[in-house]
Every structure is written in C-alpha cells, then in structure tokens.
Structure 1
Amino acid sequence: MAAVMHQKELAITLWHQTWPMAIGVLALLGFQLVDSAFIARLGTAPLAAQSFTFPLSFLIIGIQVGMGIAIAALISRALGAGEEERARRLSSLVLMAGGGVIGFLAIALWVLQVPIFELLGADETTLSYIHIYWAPQLVAAWLGALLYFSYSVSRAYGDTRLPGKMMVLSSLINLGLDPLLIFGVGDWEGWGLPGAAWATAIAFSVGLLISMHKIVRRQWASQRGLWREAQQSWRPFAGIAAPAMVSQLMPPLAAMLAISVVAGLGESEVAAWGLASRLETLSLMVILAMTMSLPPWLGRCYGAGDWGQIHQLMGLAIKVAVLWQLGLGVLLALVAPWLAMALAGNPDVQSELSLLIRFLLPSYAALGVCMLVVSAGNALGWPLRAMLLSSARLFICYLPCLWLGSQLFGWWGLAAGAAVGNLLAGFMAWQVMRRILSRPHRQAGFVN
C-alpha cells in the first residue's frame, strides 16, 4: 500500500510540475501554428518561404536547448548538493554566454542565407520572400533564445509556473499583433510576411523583460566569482552541452534533408509539410512539457543519489506519454479533413495536409517515448548515449523510411514512411530504457 501511495504522490507531483509547462507550450506552439495559418492566407509562396526557414530556426533552437539542458542539469545538481551560491553563478553564466553564442549564429545565418536556401531547393520567387522575412525572424530567434535560457534557470530552481505564464503571455501578445502587423489596419496595408516575425520579436521582448526581473528579484543569479566559476565549470558544462547540442542539432539537419525531399514533390507539398511541422510540435505539447519539467527533477535526484525515484519517475512518464499521445493522435486523425481546412486555404494543400495528419499524428506516441528517454539521458549522466539514440532515431529510422516511401509511392509513401520511422524509433528507445530500468540499484547503468 505504501508503494501505491508513493506512486500516487509521484504522479501528483509530476502533474504539478508538468501542467504549467504544458499550458505554456500549448500557448507558445499554438501561436506558431496561428502564424502559419495567417501566412497561408497570403498565398502558397509566402507559406512555402516560411517552411524553408523552419530547419534553420530549428538549428538555433537546437543549440539553445542543448545549452539550456546542460545549465539546468548543473544548476539542479548544485542545488541538490546544497551549493546555492554556485547555482547562482551558473545562472548568470548561461544568460551571458548563451546570448553571445546565439547572436553569433544568427549573424552567420543572415550572411549565408542565399547559398543555404538555394541548397535546400528554394527557387527565385521563394528566395525573394525569404529575404524580407529572415532578418526579423533572426532577431525574434535571438530574443527567444534569451527567454528560453531564463526558463531554464527557473526550471532548475523548481519553478515551472513562471515559464508557463511567460509562454502564455508572449503567445497572447503575438496573437494580438499578428493580424495587425501582417495585414494592417485601415489604410495601412501591413508588412505581410515580415509582420509575423516582428510580432514574435515584440512578444518575446516583453516576456524576457518580465522573466529577467523575476530572476534578479529572487536572487537566482550572481555576478560574484563568475570568471573562476567559468574556469571550474566549463568542462562539466561541455561534457553535457556538447552531446546535448549535437543531439538537438540532429532534428534540424534531418529537417533540412526532409524538406529537400519534399521540395522535389512540389510547392503545395512544401506548404503542407510546413503546416504539419507546426502541428507536430503543438500536438506534442505534453511530451515537450515533460522534457522540460523532468530533467531538473531527475537532476536533483541524481545529485542526491536517489536512483529508486528516478526509475519510478521514468516508468510513470513513459506510460503517460504513450496513453496521452496515442489518444490525441487518433482523435486528430479522425478530424483531419476539417483540421486541414481550418489551417490551409488552398484545396491542394488541404488534401496533402490531411493525409499527413492521418499518418503522422498517431505515430507520435512512439516519438514521445524516444524524446523522453533522450531528455532523461542528458540529466542522468549519459549524454553520449542520448545523443546516439537521437541520431539513430533520425538517420537510421526516420529519414530512410521517409525517403524510401517517397521514392516508391510519392506523397502517400512519404507520409507512411515518416510514421513507420517514428514507430521504429519509439521501439528502440523503449528497449534502451527497459534495459536501464532493469538495473534498479546500479548507477553504472546510467554511465556511458
């Protein structure tokens, strides 16, 4: 009975840790989907242009998430070991260094935009739309990275409510500004495609100002002894961040390769794929929330040596992921035609998007398992294994199945191949996690 009560308490705690992040992720990803829905009203070409920028936007997100994973792990471990002053120094370091790294990357992507997008398959018309959109989008991405780093600090200190509230607030601001800046009001015609990026930049700026004020007021950051802390912490930071960033960079690279395959099928297919990418992240909101809320909790358990709770927590998280994601996927697959009609104005895009929804959404139950195992690996001292699992998911399971399906059966085969790739990845991750969980008291099972 005690074990049952403990399991119930664990589930309640998981719920309280996850639901604020789930609401925030829903709001954040919801406004991104609304962005694409508004842009779709401008025409297929602007929507295709935005779709071409997704892989590079994911590249920036991958680096920021990798850095955030490392710093959240180190801060949570320091707190678990009672080293509060060191945790404050680590918070300051990630905010300063992270902003510099993402800023440098944004400048490089602006300078190299033409060869990169030509390599991805963008034609001259699409490049003209990308050119006016890419600069404000990079500004928004940099602000979003700084905001994400502030979320990482909050989550490491066990506060998931602040990031959740800021995601909701920035989403509401973006939602209000989108139609105004894209389509204009009265005699002002608006900015069109760049208006969507500027709306996001303004929304992120407001969220960043509030989040930084909260961090300073709660004394979660310190400027004393930063240089010495940087010298002491860069090796453990790199040991977690490097594999985590490589792991997070795999999806953008895979997205670039995937969209190059989709580009060979036509402009409407690229537009449908872009909408499906937005819908994918939105439908995975609970999984994404758990990948944010679980690692700091796991990191504190790791610092305290509580391996029993780690095993119970991961088993519970995987069960929740499969049941939730499978139910949501089946439901959205049943309403696929109506959902596609709401998101896309072009009938061809609607038809192609509907097919993607039917195949992909149910398969995200397996994808969610893989995402949870990878995020746990970065928090529990086996980042290399997590990186290898993430790479295998994309380059052994997902991309080969997607490419083979498109070669054999065109658009239908591409959708089916992507779904099969997700299923294979989920099964592989489950096998890895089962082997680890079968060693309930052996720390060696969590070491590379």
Structure 2
Amino acid sequence: MATAAQVKTLQGKFVEGSTMRHVINMTATGSVGLIAVFLVDVLNLLYISQLGHHELAAAVGYASTLLFFHTSVSIGLSIAVTATVSRAIGSGDFPLARQFAASSMYLIAGISLVMVSLTYPALDLLLQVLGAQGETARLAARFCRLVLPSIPLLAFGMALSALLRSVGDGKRAMFVTLGAAAATAILDPLFIFVFGLGLDGAAYANICARIVLAGVGFYGVLKVHQLYAKPSKEVFQRGAKAFASIGIPAILTNVATPVGNAAVTTAIAAYGDQAVAGWAVVSRLIPMAFAGLFALSGAIGPILGQNLGAKRFDRLRSTMRDSLKFTLIYVSIVWILLAIFSHLIARAFDATGMAEDVIVFFCMFVAGSFLFNGSLFVANAAFNNLGYPLYSTVLNWGRSTIGVIPFVYFGGLWFGARGVMAGYGLGVVFFGVLGVWLCFRVLHRIEQHQHH
C-alpha cells in the first residue's frame, strides 16, 4: 500500500505554486522526450537510405504512414488517461486515481490488441490503398508484419508516460521516451549495418525500443508511484465511460492532422518533385522546431485536470493565460531563428531550386502562423481535460479541412508553390482565435455551473 507520506505528495502537485512554473517545467521535460523521438525517426530514415535501395526508404515511408494511424490512436488514449486520472488526483481521491489508472491499462491493452488483429490480415490491402506497389509494397508489408505485434507495447508506453505526467512526475515521463529513443539510436545501426539485417534490423530495433519504453514506464508507475489498484466493477465501468467520452473524440482529433497534411502534399505535388521534396523537409522541420508546442499540449493536461478536480477555477484561468504567453514567446524565438538560418537549413538538406524556395519561404513567413497553431493546441488540450472533447474534434477537423483545402488550392492557383505554403499558414488563423475564445467561454461556463 502507499504510505501516508506518499499519498500526501500525490495530492495534486499542480494545485499550488506558480502555474507558469508548472507549465514551463512540464513542457521542458516533454520537449526533451519528443525531440529525442523525432530525432531518432530522422536517423532511422537516414540509416535506411544509406543502404542504397530507394525501395527501402519508400517502404519505410508507407509503413510509417500506416503505423502512424496506430500511434494517433495511442496518443488519443493517453489523453483520456491523463484527463481521468489527474482529475481524481486533484480532488484528493487517491484510491480512485489508482483504480482509474488500472482500468485505463486494461482498456488500452484490449483496444490495441483488437486493432492489431484487425490490421494484420488486411496489411497488403491497406498498403495498396496507400499507393505502395511491387517490391516497395512487399518490403513495407514485411516491415509492418514484424513491427505491428509490438503496437500494444507502444500504447502501454504512451499511457504510462501519461500517468507519470498526471501525478506531476514530468522527469520520469521524459525518461520513458528518452529510454526508447536511446535504445533505437544504439540498436538501429547495430542491427542494420553490423549484423547486416537491413530493413528487418530497423524493425527489430523498433521492437526493442518499445520493450524499453513500456519497461521504464511500468517501473515508474508501479514501483515508484504505486499507481495501481485492482478496480471494482463499478469503478471500471465509470472509468470506461469517462475514458470513451474523452478517448474517442481525442483519437478523432489526432487523425485530422494527417488528413490536412495529405491535402497540402496533394496541392504541392502539382509543382513537381522538387516542390514535394521541399514540403517533405518542412514537414520534418515542423516537429523539431515546434516540439515545445507539441509538448505544451501534453503538459497542460494534467495541470488543468488536477485544478479542475480541486475546483481551483482561478488556477484554470491562469494556466490558460500562461500557456498562451508561453506560446507567443516560444513561437517568436523559433520564427526569428528559422528566418535567420533559412538558407542554411535548405543547404543542409541539399535543397535547390523549387525545393529551396519552399523551405526558405516557410522559414521566413509561414513559421509565424504557428502562433495560431500553438493557440489551437492549447485550446484543444483544455477542451479534452475540462470535459468538452468534442470541441477539440470539431476545431481540429475544421482546421484540417476548411482551414487547409480551399486555402492551399487557391493559394496554389494564384501564387504557385509559395501560395500553397502561404495558404497552409493563413488557414489556421481563424481556428486559433476561435479556439482561444471558446476556451475562455468554457471556463466561464464551468465556473457558473459550480456556483449554482
């Protein structure tokens, strides 16, 4: 059992102290983990492209598109974990938090196993739908067959990391992702080159990294925080209901982003391979440069959840304001740096002609639009954790369809490849502003509701 002292420390770390400090600390630890994962992804492609067969790199591209869908679902489920568990911790009900934590692990195990068993037999068909053909399709299917069974480990790892964030242990949550990234960085070149396993080696390294991910997570959650208690039937049903009401919209919210990106890819493809190559660099650059924003949306969830559980409405407001301030400062710094180094970045990726033009234009002008993207991330995280997850689904799909398709279409029509990039940036402005406005409306409504 957890000792009295332990329960004390777990009673809402975020319900006191400066909200800005909590936002910065949780975002910083989250960013380190995320950057490590993105870096390893880039390394992985780099190693495989060094094998000299372009089918291999293409196969990994198709496979990762297919596997990204599973990752999106895992992210959605981990958002549900944070929202349910952090609220119970904030309200000071630690036994309930432990039962909710256990319920969410059971649910995630079930959901990820069902998904793998549905995807596995349909692999060839799914890759065909994505456009993989011949040797590339065969290699992509082989890679997926090896990696797919480890999806439940990935889902577990993400959920465990979310549980550690829910109790306010940002540092251990960071070690979960860092451990997996380190394992991939070490094992990838070893399996691919030293053991001569090629593409299979990349798959095996991937599986080992997921074992590390889940292992480090389980240690932190079960050993350090003892955040597990067998749930009663009643708590399990209550947990499952809360889990579904947040998890399903959160999964739908996450799946919207690749849809928007696909629309940009389609629009820019009209300007030839060089333009597509430029956009490919930009879409690799975005997660690296704006990792702080991606981490912020995961970081503020537990802060909002705990304060909602503790009914500290003043702190909900100040968390939102501090997150938006953080977004403004962070984006301004990154934008200035990208603008200064835009030509260097293009050169680092050997981009010339149209590809260079797309990259430089993004760095100089479009990067600033991430102020609105970041605001939308913050608003979405708030909706998910304050019990309005459908708002984030509608906003994200709005952004990825109405906020992308007409903008990149007309942008391209009038100003070519640059116009596509400009459209991609402009389309988010309305949704960013709307998200923030709605968010403060929701906070007001929650407060009124509690006072009546």
Q: In structure 1, what residue type is equivalent to 2:428?
A: N
* 1:415 equivalent in structure 2: 421
Compared with structure 1, are the counterparts of its residues 121 and 68 closer, same or farther at alpha carbon in structure 2 (3 Å cutoff)? Answer: same
Structure 2 matches for 1:148-227, cutoff 5 A? Answer: 148-182=158-192, 184-185=193-194, 188-192=195-199, 194-218=200-224, 220-227=226-233
1:379 matched to 2:385? The reply is yes
**TM-score, normalized by length of structure 1?**
0.85
Compared with structure 1, are the counterparts of its residues 269 and 227 closer, same or farther at alpha carbon in structure 2 (3 Å cutoff)? Answer: farther
SS at match of 1:229: helix
The count of corresponding residues between Structure 1 and Structure 2 is 434
Q: In structure 1, what residue type is equivalent to 2:211?
A: S
Looking at structure 2, the residues matched to 276 and 137 of structure 1 have their Cα atoms a distance apart, in angstroms, of 27
Compared with structure 1, are the counterparts of its residues 197 and 69 closer, same or farther at alpha carbon in structure 2 (3 Å cutoff)? Answer: same
Backbone CA RMSD of aligned residues: 3.1
Looking at structure 1, the residues matched to 127 and 44 of structure 2 have their Cα atoms a distance apart, in angstroms, of 21
1:72 matched to 2:78? The reply is no
Compared with structure 1, are the counterparts of its residues 132 and 261 closer, same or farther at alpha carbon in structure 2 (3 Å cutoff)? Answer: farther
Q: 1:336 aligns with which of 339, 342, 346?
A: 342
| Matched-pair contact (CA < 8 Å) for 1:70–1:244 | yes
Spell out, residue by residue over 1:19-52, the C-alpha distance to the aligned partner (whole angstroms, 9 max, x if none): 2222212212222222233344446554444334
Q: Which deviates more from structure 2 when the two are superposed, residues 320-329 or residues 405-414? A: 405-414
* 2:324 equivalent in structure 1: 318
Looking at structure 2, the residues matched to 79 and 114 of structure 1 have their Cα atoms a distance apart, in angstroms, of 45
The Cα of 1:318 is off from its aligned counterpart by 0.7
The Cα of 1:256 is off from its aligned counterpart by 4.4
Compared with structure 1, are the counterparts of its residues 149 and 7 closer, same or farther at alpha carbon in structure 2 (3 Å cutoff)? Answer: closer
Spell out, residue by residue over 1:296-316, the C-alpha distance to the aligned partner (whole angstroms, 9 max, x if none): 111111111111111111011
Looking at structure 1, the residues matched to 242 and 419 of structure 2 have their Cα atoms a distance apart, in angstroms, of 44
Looking at structure 1, the residues matched to 265 and 203 of structure 2 have their Cα atoms a distance apart, in angstroms, of 21
Compared with structure 1, are the counterparts of its residues 122 and 306 closer, same or farther at alpha carbon in structure 2 (3 Å cutoff)? Answer: same
Looking at structure 1, the residues matched to 276 and 232 of structure 2 have their Cα atoms a distance apart, in angstroms, of 46
SS at match of 1:281: helix
Where structure 2 has 5 or more consecutive residues not aligned to the other structure, the ranges are 1-14
1:102 matched to 2:107? The reply is no
* 2:333 equivalent in structure 1: 327
Where structure 1 has 5 or more consecutive residues not aligned to the other structure, the ranges are 1-5
Compared with structure 1, are the counterparts of its residues 148 and 172 closer, same or farther at alpha carbon in structure 2 (3 Å cutoff)? Answer: same
The Cα of 1:206 is off from its aligned counterpart by 1.4
1:391 matched to 2:401? The reply is no
Spell out, residue by residue over 1:221-253, the C-alpha distance to the aligned partner (whole angstroms, 9 max, x if none): 435334332223222222222222221222233
The Cα of 1:181 is off from its aligned counterpart by 2.9
* 1:276 equivalent in structure 2: 282
Compared with structure 1, are the counterparts of its residues 334 and 119 closer, same or farther at alpha carbon in structure 2 (3 Å cutoff)? Answer: farther
SS at match of 1:116: helix
Spell out, residue by residue over 1:172-193, the C-alpha distance to the aligned partner (whole angstroms, 9 max, x if none): 22112222333x13xx54414x
Looking at structure 1, the residues matched to 64 and 430 of structure 2 have their Cα atoms a distance apart, in angstroms, of 25
* 2:31 equivalent in structure 1: 22
Compared with structure 1, are the counterparts of its residues 198 and 363 closer, same or farther at alpha carbon in structure 2 (3 Å cutoff)? Answer: farther
Compared with structure 1, are the counterparts of its residues 178 and 392 closer, same or farther at alpha carbon in structure 2 (3 Å cutoff)? Answer: same
* 1:351 equivalent in structure 2: 356
Q: Which deviates more from structure 2 when the two are superposed, residues 135-144 or residues 349-358? A: 349-358
* 1:130 equivalent in structure 2: 140
Spell out, residue by residue over 1:399-447, the C-alpha distance to the aligned partner (whole angstroms, 9 max, x if none): 332344345555333222212223343233233345456x4984459xx
Looking at structure 1, the residues matched to 57 and 415 of structure 2 have their Cα atoms a distance apart, in angstroms, of 25
Compared with structure 1, are the counterparts of its residues 282 and 400 closer, same or farther at alpha carbon in structure 2 (3 Å cutoff)? Answer: same
Spell out, residue by residue over 1:158-207, the C-alpha distance to the aligned partner (whole angstroms, 9 max, x if none): 1111111222222122112222333x13xx54414x43343232122113
* 1:427 equivalent in structure 2: 433
The Cα of 1:371 is off from its aligned counterpart by 0.7
Compared with structure 1, are the counterparts of its residues 214 and 57 closer, same or farther at alpha carbon in structure 2 (3 Å cutoff)? Answer: same
Compared with structure 1, are the counterparts of its residues 231 and 426 closer, same or farther at alpha carbon in structure 2 (3 Å cutoff)? Answer: closer
The Cα of 1:356 is off from its aligned counterpart by 6.7
**TM-score, normalized by length of structure 2?**
0.85
Compared with structure 1, are the counterparts of its residues 12 and 214 closer, same or farther at alpha carbon in structure 2 (3 Å cutoff)? Answer: closer
